Amino acid sequence: MGEVKVFASDDVRGKRVIVRVDFNVPIRDGVVADDTRIRAAFPTIEALLEAQAAVILMSHLGRPAGTGYEEAFSLAPVAAKLADYPGMQGHDVIFATDTIGPDAKAKAASLVPGQVLLLENLRFDKREKKNDPEFARELASLAEVYVNDAFGTAHRAHASTAGITAYLPSYAGFLLEREVRTLTDMLDAPDRPFVAVLGGSKVSDKIKVITALIDKCDTLIIGGGMCFTFLAAKGYGIGKSLVELDWIDAAKDMLAKAEEKGVALLLPVDVVVADRFAADAEARIVAADAIPEDMMGLDVGPETSLAFAVAINGAKTVFWNGPMGVFEFDRFAGGTLAVAQAMAGISWRKADTIVGGGDSVAAVNKFGVAKSMHFISTGGGASMELVQGEALPGVEALRKGE
């Protein structure tokens, strides 16, 4: 994948810099409920302010229709949250009520070094997702330099992530650069043994990732709902467990490929089954090849959890994406907890523990081990596409001018 060029102080000093950030955060009752993504952008924002840049921030939020303002998806609560941070003391935080309209243009034109302007939701204009050249040009006209620090949207060829680079000197922010570097180094030169842990519900969602990782890792752990398609591929009865019948043959191919490559592919040897999908469902532990016909697997079992933890404990690099079970229900959280704790447990010896976004991030936060992880990706979809070897439009656009 290669490196991306990060801005230096001299590239931005005294200039208006427009920064694509990922402020797609949960808003509840008009207040930011989780500011993780906002805080992740602060190293880049603070560096720009220290270089006496005037900073224009732009982001999407949610999935508006693209036909204009929708209060539920306004970034106004994010602007209020920004102004509250200690790092913003002494810096004016200004909010534009549009994106490329009169308010944004007037406030951008009058912005002075040390001030921060946040534009309204990019996706209020349908041209953003269409990578419309005119919309990209209008965004670019607000500034003199462009910085992309939104790894979570780097897999999308949108006006604010790709199109804008045709009109301005363009650089990566610190967050995007670290995401690309960490995941690329993990794939190209991991410290071994390299263990990959994949969960989630569907094999179809992860087939390219599985294929790519079999070529890279020493041990591949499969849990979550998708493990039942693999168990079915081995000829096991899986009761009412989640299964993708159309992907059983692909699972057989993956098992054969892992064996051919000498990769240890670990599947559950026992599972926690339930009579229904509910927090208070009747549950018991059974062998993976003895799931009752009237029950469904909702977590890996304790013997499996121990085997997964042992494999992780022997690793020097671990990549994790996807829970081992329905961890939102405490009764079915044991497997996911075991993986999280095992990864946290090897951090003391400086093993690389990398969490690949999505539900895995929610899990390490829930179990209180996030601070023990070497790296937590902010972009679930982007990290998966990078791992499976696909070019990220937002990253490739930055390279065009190099």
Cite the active site residues: 37, 202, 358, 381
Q: Which of these, 366, 355, 358, lies nearest to 200 by C-alpha position?
A: 358
Whether residue 266 contacts residue 230, with contact meaning beta carbons closer than 8 Å, is answered with no
Contact criterion met (CB below 8 Å) for 62 and 128? no
Classify the phi-psi angles of 162: left when phi > 0, otherwise alpha if psi is within -120 to 50, otherwise beta.
Answer: alpha
- The radius of gyration computed from the CA coordinates of the chain, to the nearest angstrom, equals 23
Cis (ω within 30 of 0) for the bond into 113?
no
Q: Classify 204 as helix, strand or coil.
A: helix
Cα–Cα distance list, 30 to 40, 73, 321 (Å):
21, 10, 31
Cα-Cα-Cα-Cα torsion 202, 208, 213, 215, nearest 10 degrees, comes to 140
Question: Is 89 exposed, middle or buried, given 0-12, 13-18 or 19+ CB atoms closer than 10 A?
Answer: exposed
Cβ atoms of 342 and 313 closer than 8 Å: yes
Dist CA 317 CA 233 (whole Å) = 28
